[in-house]
Structure 1
């Protein structure tokens, strides 16, 4: 449950730079972000993140953020990963424009094996934000939210996996097309670092299919609504994007083929607008290049609209 704003919440700290004020809600929302990711999000035009590091150091000095070393680093020295402290979270929660997040990361969690999965989700959002900047679209550092629970079952739950569908992130993106039209898109993001059995990932696809058709009880003597639950949150059912990383191109290509085979065995999954790509393709070519392999139907690569050749991009 999200933490409510209380009258005793401290006011937002004063005297912070604009960059520091922007960093706090991003760290609050995304839990754990590497210095290099913050650089690409907030200071992409600076050759080196000198000013960014100064602001992070100041936020750490006054107790609003903290950092831990990355467990596995591709750089010479371990990269710092930043997260908001309890005091920083209280300061952000005072702002009514920031969605409440009940989850609070601890120093132990920040240093745990969850690092790489969390950072990969952020990498996916950073890729969308970077391409939005290049294309003149809109996707800000706060336009994706991690792990939003969507109920897919009425009554007493037997467990979280049974009662809820929880994507790794929900991402919103506004695309300015060549014809001048603006399209507001939403995506469910599912990240796989080649650590999950393909059959387990396919089972998660079934949860998305269940949510697409889930109609909650209307209350009172077991009466049911006639309206799907997702319509209360989205103007259209979000497209599902599965992003693979963490293995060789050959291994990831095999996983894509395995996922398509498993999806074909579940007729409900065929009703989803769903595709799979690699993080490298998304970063290098962008979401509007043919980087997505549809999970159902023709395997020809397409973009994140996941429309068949000649099909609608609504």
Structure 2
């Protein structure tokens, strides 16, 4: 099927606000699972209709060439059907993202070492969004790569994500918390986590000199298991100047780690 301007003009009015939000988020993270999309956009459905509605919407968007299934379908486990597929923007979705976002992403090209990384960053956003529904905090900003990157001098700091939360305390007080997030899987693609410590310290010094009145975001390293957490904490402990900037925790403790800061 050829994707023409006429086709896009005819497709546009058929898309719901939820469809457009799915396009926005899949474009933002490049790759998301059907299960992640279900948790974001079908949580208000009943337990019996949630999977059915998700399947219908993703099947329709795939048929319209808005989304594309990529990689191999996962077999078995708790998730079946479209929840077990990975999705990226297809040709029509890429065109629509160009017109609806001031910062569209480049199309995703399958490359096995990046798959877990993209899904892990998307999972951060899904987890925070789910937790925010309880009303204790709001997600004020979530920037994925490359928009969370920070240039200074001739260098570029490349966190996995930048997050800003609005936290509501039990006594009614409100505060904002900002975080650079690093997802360490104990088998990290790209720059090793150890090399990020001096990069963050250099950017911190630049930040202090350039914006002395602005607070610096907390840097959160998230690891998959306690052994890796202990290792990362030792790395931080070796640099006394880093201890007040860095927090290390488990991936499963993302909400607790950020809200406790």
Smaller-chain TM-score range? 0.7 to 0.9
Which protein has the bigger helix share? 2
Deviations 1:23-72 (A, max 9, x none): 11011111111111111111113323221221222111121211124576
Match of residue 239 from structure 1: 218
Task: Tell me the distance in 1 between the aligned counterparts of 2:215 and 2:76.
Answer: 40
1:263 aligns with 2:255: no
Match of residue 213 from structure 1: 205
Task: Tell me the distance in 1 between the aligned counterparts of 2:105 and 2:120.
Answer: 21
Does the Cα contact within 8 Å between 1:144 and 1:172 map onto a contact in 2?
no
1:279 aligns with 2:251: yes
- Identify the structure with bigger relative contact order (alpha carbons < 8 Å, sequence gap 6+): 2
- The offset of 1:130, in angstroms, is 1.1
Task: Tell me the distance in 1 between the aligned counterparts of 2:230 and 2:178.
Answer: 25
Question: Which structure 1 residue ranges, 4+ long, deviate > 3 Å from structure 2?
Answer: 69-74
- TM-score, length of structure 1 as denominator length: 0.68
In the alignment, structure 2 segments of 5+ residues that lack a partner are 1-7
Residues 175 and 271 (structure 1 numbering): CA distance in 2 closer, same or farther, change over 3 Å? closer
Task: Tell me the distance in 1 between the aligned counterparts of 2:76 and 2:163.
Answer: 27
Match of residue 123 from structure 2: 123
In the alignment, structure 1 segments of 5+ residues that lack a partner are 1-9, 155-162, 216-224, 246-251, 293-302, 307-314
Q: Secondary structure at the match of 2:134?
A: helix
1:16 aligns with 2:15: yes
- TM-score, length of structure 2 as denominator length: 0.81
Match of residue 193 from structure 1: 185
Which protein has the bigger strand share? 2
Does the Cα contact within 8 Å between 2:223 and 2:249 map onto a contact in 1?
yes
Does the Cα contact within 8 Å between 1:20 and 1:56 map onto a contact in 2?
no
2:86 to 60, 70, 81: 81
Does the Cα contact within 8 Å between 1:125 and 1:144 map onto a contact in 2?
no
Q: Secondary structure at the match of 1:170?
A: strand
Which deviates the most, 73-82 or 29-38?
A: 73-82
The CA RMSD over aligned residues, in Å, is 2.9
Task: Tell me the distance in 2 between the aligned counterparts of 1:195 and 1:226.
Answer: 35
Task: Tell me the distance in 2 between the aligned counterparts of 1:202 and 1:85.
Answer: 36
Match of residue 227 from structure 1: 210
Residues 121 and 226 (structure 1 numbering): CA distance in 2 closer, same or farther, change over 3 Å? closer
How many residue pairs get aligned? The number is 245
